[in-house]
Structure 1
Amino acid sequence: MTTAVLAWGPLALTPEGSALVAEIEAYLATIPAAARPTVPYVCPLGSTLQPWNAGHPLRRPTLLDRLAQRPARAVPVTVADHLRLASRYISAFGWTQGALWDTAGRVCLLGAQAAVLANGYGLPETVVRARIQVMEVLHATGRPVASPDVYNDAPTTRQADVHHLLDRASARALSLGI
């Protein structure tokens, strides 16, 4: 048995396995490049990259909305969903301190919540209730700050801290059924 070393570690190849790999490569070489199936990028953790709002319906105007010439209604989301979407928005676009957003599109905690709301997920009341949950978690974990924004902008706060805070607040909201 021979051992081939690949980028992710040693892989023992038998002569039968080598023949199978050669046969697959020969077959793939016969397919025109335009006809080859495109495979989504798979991250090292094993899941495909998805948009920040994956799993949630898009806001779509109804016939009545179009007739009345009004914007589509917001997609209803729970407080827990809002907090998870805010975390995913920060993951997708980046995180910043000291501003709602910057020229690169990165957002702070409040900017992420505003972006989730602006994209049609939830109502302003949802955002208020979500911020209450964030404040409850901050105070329960010994970080008595005046607002989540003060915590976001603290020099010792990192992006991972914000994600952890949003995750804990989401879990708290879920346990309360809101």
Structure 2
Amino acid sequence: MTTAAALLRGPLVLTPEGSALVAEIEAYLATLPAATRQTAPYVCPLGSTVQAWNAAFPLTRPTLLDRLTHRPARPAPVTVADHLRLTSRYMAAFGWTQGRLWDTTGRVCLLGAQAAVLAHGYGTPGTVTRARVQVMEVLHATGRAHASPDRFNDAPGTRQADVHHLLDRASARALSLGI
């Protein structure tokens, strides 16, 4: 068939059922590990892409002097409100659990998430203490009589959404106080 005759027939239409190329590509993709099959970042229906839990916060890196003296990098300065936001984001990224700091799958409780944020170099132990005070203030202001944020986390009726809501309110309170 000549080129002119092929043009008169119309455009070439490939369908998944009739195309050997598509079948070959699908066979190749099936041999790849599951992690590499995703070609683009997941986009939720609301249009937001998945981001790291510490996105938009500076990464802590040791300086030359830190490396020479074998000391950890200085923590990134964060406000109490930022610490509470990071805690919520960490729990959202790795999962939530009750009755323990973390489990074998990486899920964390409220205290475990705060410890992880601190261990990643965001804030100081003083930041964590002030953040826990804000959480307790919100617990008491909302009429929840718990001895600590950890007791609230481990209470039988508490859900992950309740903990995130508590952290969000405590972060807003800390932001309004300027801490």
Shorter-chain-normalised TM-score: which range? 0.7 to 0.9
Residue 48 of structure 2: aligned partner: 47
Distance 2:101 2:40 in 1: 36
Report which of the two structures shows the higher radius of gyration computed on alpha carbons: 2
Aligned length: 145
Residue 91 of structure 2: aligned partner: 90
Question: How far off is 1:67 after superposition?
Answer: 2.1
Question: How far off is 1:68 after superposition?
Answer: 1.8
Residue 160 of structure 2: aligned partner: 159
Question: How far off is 1:65 after superposition?
Answer: 1.0
Distance 1:53 1:127 in 2: 16
Instruction: Tell me how large the CA RMSD over aligned residues is.
Output: 1.6
Percent identical pairs in the alignment equals 81
Question: How far off is 1:144 after superposition?
Answer: 1.7
Question: How far off is 1:80 after superposition?
Answer: 0.2
Counterparts of residues 1-178 of structure 1 (less than 5 Å): 38-178=39-179
- In the TM superposition, structure 1's runs of 4+ consecutive aligned residues that sit over 2 Å from their partners are none
Name the SS for the 1:164 alignment partner: helix
Distance 1:66 1:96 in 2: 36
TM-score, with structure 2 as normaliser: 0.77
Amino acid paired to 2:96: W
Question: How far off is 1:83 after superposition?
Answer: 0.2
| 1:102-133 alpha-carbon deviations (Å, 9 max, x no partner) | 11110000000000001110000000000000
Distance 1:104 1:68 in 2: 34
Distance 2:167 2:136 in 1: 10
Between stretches 59-68 and 125-134, larger displacement belongs to: 59-68
Name the SS for the 1:103 alignment partner: coil
Between stretches 165-174 and 41-50, larger displacement belongs to: 41-50
Amino acid paired to 1:82: H
